[in-house]
Structure 1
Amino acid sequence: MSRRHHALMMFLPLLAISVPLSAGAQTATATPAPASNLDAAARREIVGHLSTELRSKYINPVVGEKGAAAITAAATSGAYDRIVDLPAFTTRLTGDLRGVMTDKHLMVFDTSNRPGPSVASMPAGEAGIVRADRLPGGIGYLQIDGFANPWAFKPALDRAMAGLKGSRALILDVRGNGGGDPASVSYLVSYLVPAGKRIGINTIVWRKAGTTNLTRKPFFSEPTPVSFAGVPAYVLTSGNTFSGGEELPYDMQTLKLGTVVGEVTGGGANPGERVSIGHGVMAFIPAGRAESPVTGSNWEGRGVQPDLKVPAADALATTLRRLGQTPAAATIEAASPVSVFTPRTVPLMGGEAMLRRLLAGRAAREPDYTLLPPDISDAGRAAFLDTHRRLQPLGVPQAIQFRRPDGFGFDEFSLVYPDHTLLVAIVLDPAGKFVDLIGPDPSK
């Protein structure tokens, strides 16, 4: 997949922009940003640039035109004239666009006042795998809170599934899963497909910018170290299950590989890309859509409908009772105090070497863009330049020590200096090219 596009990713901190508007609005209200004295010229330029990008890139050209026309008309009517605060303006634009485009991935946000992600905020686990448990009665349980890039996700999943080998039933818990890479979703589904059988699982359809031409990226099942084919499988969902997190229950349901238990999911199936709008504004514009080989459609706007609809908090107990456990524990902690999954203790190859190269080149006026994938987007180049600027004030550390993997697919490191320690989190692509860096943060 081109680096221009971010797959169904809500969970990466720099891409955590696919939240429902209400959640975003609550965050903005709880932590008000300082007024930015937004003037009429800036508002006009933001609306104009955003409208152009929507018309050029949104997966459905008719809907993209509808959104562009809506905010252009609002600006012309004077609806935005009293908004002088940039965060308030981007929130309003997001609401106006979602009102006519009904796409929960679509979002406009202020990068100038948006707090940067911190290493301390990164979730525990490894590449989205939180825990794996062997429950009484031969029931295997796997909690997946995100689908990180496949080169980090696959080895973590393989270790977790090896620990569940021989289970008579399998519970896949994505109640807290906000999204991820469709290649990783397909790999998990592959564990339920009969060995030696190759089936289509999902396709991402992309629009070529500035045209109505479409390209297709299919995902197929692939060999796995162990097989759970024929094992009764249950997928637990909530209203917070979103984006790539929804693909798993959708795929399992449409391919008749499992039963979905819980709540209707969030309803976001359109991946996209970050686009710089200017004036400190960034937009996440869906340039693609998921397409099932079974239905020819997806879960956009509707969510995945559970086979057994119960409150999310009751989904585990409901499933355990269905599997013959009485009484049934309501939480995995009550059902199984100790997980059999342990995150790795060594880094993925290349992370430390990349950190050393970034630090060695920090004094240069421009970063070394050869460290990036060749098809990186403009937004990706801008983020890399920002990383370079953040590293410029640092000295060369006495040591770089691996700290842990995290739930987003990053590897965390400590940069050790004589009088202090800084934390960073880095992720590379399969070719060893730079993707993202979180931090540096002071060590706690």
Structure 2
Amino acid sequence: MTTLTQLRPAPVIDETARLLIEHYVFPETAEQLADLLRRRLAEGTYDVDSAEELGRLVTADLQSVNGDLHLRLAYHAEPVPSEKGAAALAAMRRNFDTSLGGAPRVELLEGGVAVVELAPTLFPLEWAAEPLGAALTLASSARALILDLRANLGGDPDTVAFVCSYLLDDRTHLNTMHWREGERNEQSWSLPHVPGARFGGTKPLYVLCSNRTFSAAEELTYDLQQLGRAVVVGERTGGGAHPRDGWTVHPHLEATIPVGRSVNPVSGTNWEGTGIQPDITCAAADSLDRAHALALARLAD
């Protein structure tokens, strides 16, 4: 067990507070949170005997002001690389290698309805373009498609645009990201060309979600729902619309801090804190059967 002498909470809190003030997408909230962390440190709240417990306590405080679930002091059992974002990237790579590149299931159901599961995350596009393109091309000739995001925890916005490109006919504005750094705005569009064959923008499309569906997986769901392209089936999603970066503040602790916010061009807002309300609400465990039945009824019509 890590001792207090080894852990030294004060430098961890000081660095986390500094990073908040410098990078958090909402500067006023960053100041409030930094003050809260310093006050809790002075009160002795963070005098705990393990990095894991410190991460839990600080995360609860970070999320106490505006409920931003991307805002965390994340504990890692293995030592965290010092480069920004390296901890998350290392974990992603392990998951990529054990999930067929993020498309662990492609199946054809009765009636010509295909299922493509994307999990556990939408991996960086430079890794994922080939396996995702192969999976979506394989499903392109199906009569209807069910995209299963129930176990997807997020990932790369560029990969969101890549997947959407297989499900639309025309180049389409999907999202605008407002970054704190440089006060930049960056639009995301579907691609004019994709490797392989498109499923296209007219055949029935259903997206399955759960209360675990989060972040970039929510963006994929929200983009398709707001465009009227997909029927969303399942549970309300987790509610994380702020892309984040990660900084190592201790050998086993990573401060993850949102650095931007999403704005959908159709709704003019996003799903932060509220999650995405499905079009058809049901238990996540029942959503595949429900979507399949909906697809068969639609095809029968």
> TM-score normalised by the shorter chain: which range applies?
0.7 to 0.9
Q: 1:184-333 to 2 correspondence within 5 Å?
A: 184-194=159-169, 197-208=170-181, 213-222=182-191, 223-224=193-194, 225-227=196-198, 228-278=200-250, 281-324=253-296
Match of 2:116 in 1: 142
Three-state SS of the structure 1 residue aligned to 2:292 is: helix
For 1:226, the aligned partner's letter is A
2:56 equivalent to 1:91: yes
Give the aligned CA root-mean-square deviation in angstroms.
Answer: 2.3
Three-state SS of the structure 2 residue aligned to 1:65 is: helix
Q: 2:79, 2:252 within 8 Å by CA — same for their partners in 1?
A: no
CA gap 1:142/1:280 in 2 versus in 1, 3 angstroms:
closer
Three-state SS of the structure 2 residue aligned to 1:189 is: helix
| Offset of residue 278 of structure 1 | 4.5
Match of 1:439 in 2: none
Three-state SS of the structure 2 residue aligned to 1:277 is: strand
Given candidates 30, 39, 43, the residue that maps to 1:73 is 39
Q: 1:7-86 to 2 correspondence within 5 Å?
A: 34-38=1-5, 42-80=8-46, 82-86=47-51
Partner Cα separation in structure 1 for residue 163 and residue 251 of structure 2: 41
Q: Deviations over 1:67-105 (max 9, x none)?
A: 11111122233333x423332122211111111231111
Three-state SS of the structure 2 residue aligned to 1:104 is: coil
| Offset of residue 287 of structure 1 | 0.9
For 2:176, the aligned partner's letter is T
CA gap 1:122/1:158 in 2 versus in 1, 3 angstroms:
closer
Partner Cα separation in structure 1 for residue 52 and residue 127 of structure 2: 34
| Offset of residue 120 of structure 1 | 7.5
Partner Cα separation in structure 2 for residue 186 and residue 297 of structure 1: 18
| Offset of residue 232 of structure 1 | 1.1
2:99 equivalent to 1:125: yes
Match of 2:157 in 1: 182
Q: 1:232, 1:258 within 8 Å by CA — same for their partners in 2?
A: yes
Partner Cα separation in structure 2 for residue 280 and residue 171 of structure 1: 39
For 1:207, the aligned partner's letter is R
Q: 2:73, 2:256 within 8 Å by CA — same for their partners in 1?
A: yes
Q: Deviations over 1:181-200 (max 9, x none)?
A: 11111111112222xx2211
Q: Deviations over 1:272-313 (max 9, x none)?
A: 111132465421111112221222221111111100010000
Contiguous gaps of at least 5 residues in structure 1:
1-33, 326-444
Partner Cα separation in structure 1 for residue 269 and residue 263 of structure 2: 5
Q: Deviations over 1:233-274 (max 9, x none)?
A: 000001111111111110111111010000011111111111
Q: 2:204, 2:295 within 8 Å by CA — same for their partners in 1?
A: no
Q: 1:348-387 to 2 correspondence within 5 Å?
A: none
TM-score (norm 2): 0.86
Partner Cα separation in structure 2 for residue 142 and residue 279 of structure 1: 38
Three-state SS of the structure 2 residue aligned to 1:236 is: strand
Q: 2:79, 2:251 within 8 Å by CA — same for their partners in 1?
A: no
**Aligned residues between the structures:** 283
TM-score (norm 1): 0.59
Q: 1:38, 1:86 within 8 Å by CA — same for their partners in 2?
A: no
Choose between structure 1 and 2: higher helix proportion.
2
For 1:249, the aligned partner's letter is T
Partner Cα separation in structure 1 for residue 263 and residue 116 of structure 2: 26
Q: 1:174, 1:235 within 8 Å by CA — same for their partners in 2?
A: yes
Three-state SS of the structure 2 residue aligned to 1:67 is: helix
Partner Cα separation in structure 2 for residue 320 and residue 311 of structure 1: 14
Match of 1:26 in 2: none
Three-state SS of the structure 1 residue aligned to 2:101 is: coil
Find the structure with the greater CA-based Rg. 1
CA gap 1:191/1:279 in 2 versus in 1, 3 angstroms:
closer
Partner Cα separation in structure 2 for residue 166 and residue 275 of structure 1: 44
Partner Cα separation in structure 1 for residue 252 and residue 210 of structure 2: 34
For 1:193, the aligned partner's letter is L
Q: Deviations over 1:12-42 (max 9, x none)?
A: xxxxxxxxxxxxxxxxxxxxxx1322489x3
CA gap 1:260/1:134 in 2 versus in 1, 3 angstroms:
same
Q: Percent identity?
A: 31
Q: Which runs of 4+ in 1 moved over 4 A?
A: 115-123
